[in-house]
Amino acid sequence: MMKKALAVAKWEYLEKVKAKAFLIGLFLTPLIMVGMGVIPGLLAGQADKTTKVIGVIDPTGELAVPLAKAMQEKYLLASGEPNYLVRPLTVGKPNNMDLAIEEASKLAVTDEIEGYCILGSGGLADSVVEYRSKAVGDFRVGVRLEETLKSIIAEKRAVARGIDLAVVKELNVTLDVKMVKLSKTGEKEEAGFEKVFLSAYVFLMMLFLLIMTSGQLLVRSILEEKSNRIVEVLVSSVSSTDLMVGKVLGLSGLGFTQIAFWTLIGVGATLQFGINLIGLDHALLLIVYFVLGYLFYAAVFIAAGSPLSTEQEAQQVTSYLVILLIIPIVLAMPAMKDPEAPWLKVLTFVPFLTPTMMALRIPIQTPATWEILSTIVLMIVSIYGAMVVAGRIFRIGILSTGKSPKIKEIFRWARQG
Amino acid sequence: MSMNPVLAARDLRKEFATVVAVDGVSFEIQAGEIFGLLGPNGAGKTTTIRIILNILEPDGGTVMFDGKPFSSAVRDRIGYLPEERGLYRKSKLLDTILYFAELRGMKRTVARSEALKWLERAGLSAYRDRKVEELSKGNQQKVQFITSIIHNPALVVLDEPFSGLDPVNQILLMDIFKEMKQSGKAIVFSTHQMDQAEKLSDALCLINRGKVVLGGTVRDVKKRYGTNSVHVEFDGDGEFMRSLPGVQRAIMYENAAELELAPDARTQDLLGAMNTRVELRKFELLEPSLQSIFIQTVAGAESVPAAGKAVA
Which three-class secondary structure string do you get for A159-211? HHCCCCHHHHHHHCCCCCCCCCEECCCCCEECCCHHHHHHHHHHHHHHHHHHH
Cα torsion A401, A407, A411, A414 to 10°: value is 40
User: How close does chain B come to A310, measured CA to CA in Å?
Assistant: 16
Cα separation, A69 vs A357, in Å, equals 52
User: How close does chain B come to A4, measured CA to CA in Å?
Assistant: 6
pLDDT for A377: 95
Alpha helices in A306-406 (DSSP H): 311-330, 332-337, 342-348, 354-364, 369-397
Over range A270-275, report the average pLDDT.
67
Asked if the peptide bond before residue A94 counts as cis, ω within 30 degrees of 0, the response is yes
Cα separation, B130 vs B140, in Å, equals 11
Other CB atoms closer than 10 Å to residue A135's CB: what's the count? 10
CB distance B148–A233 less than 8 Å? yes
User: Does the beta carbon of A401 lie under 8 angstroms from any beta carbon of chain B?
Assistant: no
Closest CA to A130 of A154, A112, A108, A156: A108
Q: Which residues of B touch A (CB under 8 A)?
A: 50, 53-56, 72, 75, 78, 80, 82-91, 99-100, 102-105, 147-148
Q: Which residues contact B29 (CB under 8 A, 6 or more apart)?
A: B5, B6, B7, B8, B35, B155, B186, B188, B203
pLDDT for B10: 93
Burial of B74 (0-12, 13-18, 19+ CB in 10 A): buried
> What backbone torsions phi and psi does residue B119 show, to the nearest 5 degrees?
-60, -40
Q: Which residue type is seen at B297?
A: T
> What backbone torsions phi and psi does residue B92 show, to the nearest 5 degrees?
-80, 150
pLDDT for A331: 83
Range of lowest pLDDT (A42-56, A64-78, A188-202): A188-202
pLDDT for A77: 81
Query: Least CA distance to B158: which residue of chain A?
Result: A233
Chain A residues close to B78, C-beta within 8 Å: 236
Select the residue of B50, B88, B103 nearest A4 (Cβ to Cβ): B103
Cα separation, A82 vs A52, in Å, equals 9
End-to-end Cα distance, chain B: 40
User: Does the beta carbon of A21 lie under 8 angstroms from any beta carbon of chain B?
Assistant: no
User: Does the beta carbon of A417 lie under 8 angstroms from any beta carbon of chain B?
Assistant: no
Cα separation, B234 vs B254, in Å, equals 9
CB distance A236–B84 less than 8 Å? no
Select the residue of A1, A230, A239 nearest B88 (Cβ to Cβ): A230
pLDDT for B177: 92
pLDDT tens digit string along B48-87?
999 999 888 899 999 999 988 988 889 999 999 998 888 8
Query: Least CA distance to B76: which residue of chain A?
Result: A237
Cα separation, B250 vs B230, in Å, equals 10
Burial of A37 (0-12, 13-18, 19+ CB in 10 A): buried
Chain B residues close to A15, C-beta within 8 Å: 88, 90-91
Is there a contact between B233 and B247 (Cβ–Cβ < 8 Å)? Answer: no
pLDDT for B195: 78
Separation in Å, CA B217 to CA A174, A289, B11, B29: 103, 64, 19, 11
Please provide the size of chain B in residues: 312
Q: Between these two residues, A330 and A237, which has the higher pLDDT value? A: A237
Select the residue of A227, A230, A236 nearest B55 (Cβ to Cβ): A236
> pLDDT class for A215, splitting at 50, 70, 90?
confident
Chain B residues close to A3, C-beta within 8 Å: 105
End-to-end Cα distance, chain A: 21
pLDDT for B9: 93
Chain A residues close to B14, C-beta within 8 Å: none
User: Does the beta carbon of A406 lie under 8 angstroms from any beta carbon of chain B?
Assistant: no
User: Does the beta carbon of A90 lie under 8 angstroms from any beta carbon of chain B?
Assistant: no
Q: Give the SS3 label for residue A403.
A: coil
CB distance A229–B82 less than 8 Å? yes
Range of lowest pLDDT (A5-14, A21-30, A288-297): A21-30
| Ranges in chain B, pLDDT < 70 | 1-3, 226-227, 300-312
Cα torsion A202, A204, A206, A208 to 10°: value is -150
The whole model's pTM is what? 0.70
pLDDT for B312: 30
Query: Least CA distance to B131: which residue of chain A?
Result: A15
pLDDT for A136: 65
Burial of B283 (0-12, 13-18, 19+ CB in 10 A): middle
Select the residue of B54, B86, B87 nearest A236 (Cβ to Cβ): B54
pLDDT for B126: 93
Query: Least CA distance to A238: which residue of chain B?
Result: B103
Cα separation, A52 vs A140, in Å, equals 12
Separation in Å, CA B302 to CA A296, B100, B209: 55, 43, 11
User: How close does chain A come to B3, measured CA to CA in Å?
Assistant: 25
Burial of A20 (0-12, 13-18, 19+ CB in 10 A): exposed
- The distance between the two most distant Cα atoms of chain A, rounded to a whole number of Å, is 97
User: Does the beta carbon of A232 lie under 8 angstroms from any beta carbon of chain B?
Assistant: yes
Is there a contact between A68 and A99 (Cβ–Cβ < 8 Å)? Answer: no
Cα separation, A68 vs A104, in Å, equals 16
Say yes or no to pLDDT of A371 above 60.
yes
Burial of B18 (0-12, 13-18, 19+ CB in 10 A): exposed
Cα separation, A389 vs B208, in Å, equals 38
Exposed e or buried b per residue across B109-148, where buried means at least 16 C-beta atoms within 10 angstroms of its C-beta: eebeebbeebbeebebeebbeebbeebeeebbbbbbbbbb
Chain A residues close to B104, C-beta within 8 Å: 237
Cα separation, B3 vs A359, in Å, equals 64
User: Does the beta carbon of A238 lie under 8 angstroms from any beta carbon of chain B?
Assistant: yes
Helices A369-397 and A354-364 sit at what angle, rounded to 10 degrees? 150
User: Does the beta carbon of A229 lie under 8 angstroms from any beta carbon of chain B?
Assistant: yes
CB distance B85–A229 less than 8 Å? yes
Task: For the sheet with B155-159, list strands across it.
Answer: B78-81, B155-159, B186-191, B34-38, B203-208, B211-217
pLDDT for B183: 93
User: How close does chain B come to A21, measured CA to CA in Å?
Assistant: 13
CB distance A236–B85 less than 8 Å? no
Q: What is the gyration radius of the CA atoms in chain B, in angstroms?
A: 23
User: How close does chain A come to B57, measured CA to CA in Å?
Assistant: 11
pLDDT for A63: 80
Cα separation, A389 vs A304, in Å, equals 11
Q: ipTM of the assembly? A: 0.78
Is there a contact between B151 and B106 (Cβ–Cβ < 8 Å)? Answer: yes
Say yes or no to pLDDT of A97 above 80.
no
pLDDT for A92: 59
Is there a contact between A393 and A414 (Cβ–Cβ < 8 Å)? Answer: yes
Beta bridge partners of A108: none
> pLDDT class for A18, splitting at 50, 70, 90?
confident
